[in-house]
Every structure is written in C-alpha cells, then in structure tokens.
Amino acid sequence: MWIVLTYDINEKRVNSIRKICALYLIRVQNSVFLGEIGWANLRILRDKLKDKIIESEDSIQFFILRDEKLVRRIKLGVSYEFSNII
C-alpha cells in the first residue's frame, strides 16, 4: 500500500508525532508524510500515534491507496523529500 498522512498537531506534541511518522514514511511538507507501508506497520503506526495525540485537539488523516500508481502528483514551488530528517 501507499499512503499520504497529514496532520494538525498541537505544538507541544508535534515533534514526537513527527519522529514516529519518520520511522515509517517520508516527510514531503511540514505536516505531510507519504510512502509505501504494509498493513501490519500501518496498524502499528496508527496505534503509536493514537497513544500520543489528544483526540479533542489533534487531527491526523491517512489517505490509503492500494498502489502508488493510482495517484498522480503535481508539485508547485519548493519540493523537499525529507528522508527521515525531522
């Protein structure tokens, strides 16, 4: 599977959330990660994030695709793929 993960996280928690995401995905914008991931790791990632966030304050969205080929990407402006740089 290939996923895009986006988040809005309270300043107090954003670094710890970023560190967890960087273990599994590549950061492409401040609050956007993406990459190939299996179901088992996706469940682990989701549960780790669920433990860290405060549900009434923070927001995380997973956009899950069977295959990267199903999505076409267009980028405007600066494009950086942080390979695990937090």
Q: What are phi and psi of 66, to 5 degrees?
A: -65, -35
Amino acid at 6: T
Q: Contact with a second copy (CB under 8 A): which of 32, 41, 44, 82?
A: 32
Q: Contact with a second copy (CB under 8 A): which of 56, 83, 85, 86?
A: 56
State yes or no: residue 4 binds a second copy (CB under 8 A): yes
Residues in the annotated binding site for Mg(2+) = 8
d(C-alpha 61, C-alpha 67), whole Å = 18
Q: Contact with a second copy (CB under 8 A): which of 30, 36, 38, 84?
A: 30
